[in-house]
């Protein structure tokens, strides 16, 4: 998966609990993305970052927060998990604005009971 | 309603048959990409098309971008079990840094 790792691989939460998903890359790419994938919905962009210290909202940002304090790490936080956030979460990286290739991590499967 | 509509949602064929997957939109895209995703893994980029009417071939896979850059198709010739997977199209509307994905087409090639 092109130097993109995601932690954890699986997690089960109870409604109202919080957690943080970590995306780490070793390719020195500028852009990082968080998507969620639900059956029949493809991938939907939650938040993204165009460089260290920057973040921006995507298509479905509500209920999530992100941080990019270091270039190699992009964190996705759920402050108060809801069953609607049960999904598979993918992180992706892209070298820069000129590049058109996003490299995806292996995903994190999250279940909220 | 998704910005990019893929059809069919599911396709089951026998080894050796041909198949076509469609990706349609009412919006114009500066470029369109096709990904393949295997169970338990992230999507992997197959191709990017950027010019209206463009046709790209990748072995037995043929990708076409519509003249108006609103739609695309993926054609697989003589499908093999290794072609099984989820095929996703994704469009970039403004030559920027964000992709919009279609809902995916799940392809099963039986030996």
In DSSP notation, B3-46 reads SSEEE-SEEEEETT--EEEEEE-SS--SEEEEEEE-TTS--EEE
- So what's the pLDDT on residue B2? 62
Q: How far is A16 from chain B (nearest CA, A)?
A: 27
With 70 as the cut, is the pLDDT of residue A104 above it? Answer: yes
Contacting residues for A17 by C-beta, under 8 A, at least 6 apart = A80, A81, A112
Answer yes or no: do B4 and A42 touch at CB < 8 A.
Answer: yes
Answer yes or no: do A105 and B92 touch at CB < 8 A.
Answer: no
Among the partner residues B90, B97, B102, nearest to A94 by beta-carbon distance? B97
B14-40 mean pLDDT: 94
With 60 as the cut, is the pLDDT of residue B56 above it? Answer: yes
Alpha-carbon distance of B71 to B53, in angstroms, equals 10
Tally of residues, chain B: 111
Residue with tokens 């108060």: A80
Chain A neighbours among B 27-66 (CB < 8 Å)? 31, 33, 40-45, 48
Alpha-carbon distance of B9 to A75, in angstroms, equals 32
B64-90 mean pLDDT: 96
- So what's the pLDDT on residue B98? 84
With 80 as the cut, is the pLDDT of residue A97 above it? Answer: no
A37-47 mean pLDDT: 90
Judge whether A42 is closer than 8 Å to chain B, CB to CB. yes
Among A48, A65, A56, residue whose Cα is nearest residue A102:
A48
A97-110 mean pLDDT: 88
Identify the three-state secondary structure at position B62: strand
- So what's the pLDDT on residue B9? 94
Contact A106, B42 (CB under 8 A): yes
Could you tell me what percent of chain B has a pLDDT over 70? 95
Judge whether A88 is closer than 8 Å to chain B, CB to CB. no
Sign of CA dihedral B93, B99, B102, B106: positive
Contact A98, A73 (CB under 8 A): no
B6-18 mean pLDDT: 96
Could you tell me what percent of chain A has a pLDDT over 70? 98
Answer yes or no: do A48 and B45 touch at CB < 8 A.
Answer: no
Identify the three-state secondary structure at position A84: helix
Q: Which is it for strands A87-94 and A102-104: parallel, antiparallel or unpaired? A: antiparallel
The token pair at A73 is: 């790490």
Count of helix runs (H) and strand runs (E) in chain B = 0, 11
With 80 as the cut, is the pLDDT of residue B96 above it? Answer: no
Answer yes or no: do A40 and B4 touch at CB < 8 A.
Answer: no
Q: How far is A41 from chain B (nearest CA, A)?
A: 4
């Amino acid at each position: 998966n092109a130097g993109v790792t995601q932690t954890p691989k699986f997690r089960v939460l109870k409604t109202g609990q919080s957690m943080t998903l970590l995306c780490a890359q070793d390719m020195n790419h500028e852009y990082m993305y968080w998507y969620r994938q639900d059956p029949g919905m493809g991938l939907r962009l939650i938040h993204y970052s165009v460089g260290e210290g920057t973040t921006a909202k995507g298509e479905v940002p509500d209920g999530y927060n992100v941080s990019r304090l270091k270039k190699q790490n992009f964190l996705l936080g759920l402050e108060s998990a809801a069953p609607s956030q049960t999904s598979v979460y993918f992180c992706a990286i892209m070298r820069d604005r000129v590049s058109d290739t996003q490299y995806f991590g292996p995903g994190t499967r999250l279940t909220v009971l | 309603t998704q910005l990019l509509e893929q059809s069919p949602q599911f396709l089951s064929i026998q080894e050796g048959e041909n198949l076509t997957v469609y990706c349609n939109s009412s919006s114009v895209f500066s470029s369109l990409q096709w990904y393949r995703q295997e169970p338990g893994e992230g999507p992997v980029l197959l191709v990017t098309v950027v010019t209206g009417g463009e046709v790209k071939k990748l072995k037995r896979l043929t990708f076409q971008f519509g003249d108006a850059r609103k739609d695309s198709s993926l054609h697989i010739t003589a499908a093999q079990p290794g072609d099984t997977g989820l095929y996703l199209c994704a469009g970039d509307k403004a030559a920027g840094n964000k992709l919009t994905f279609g809902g995916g087409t799940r392809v099963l090639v039986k030996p």
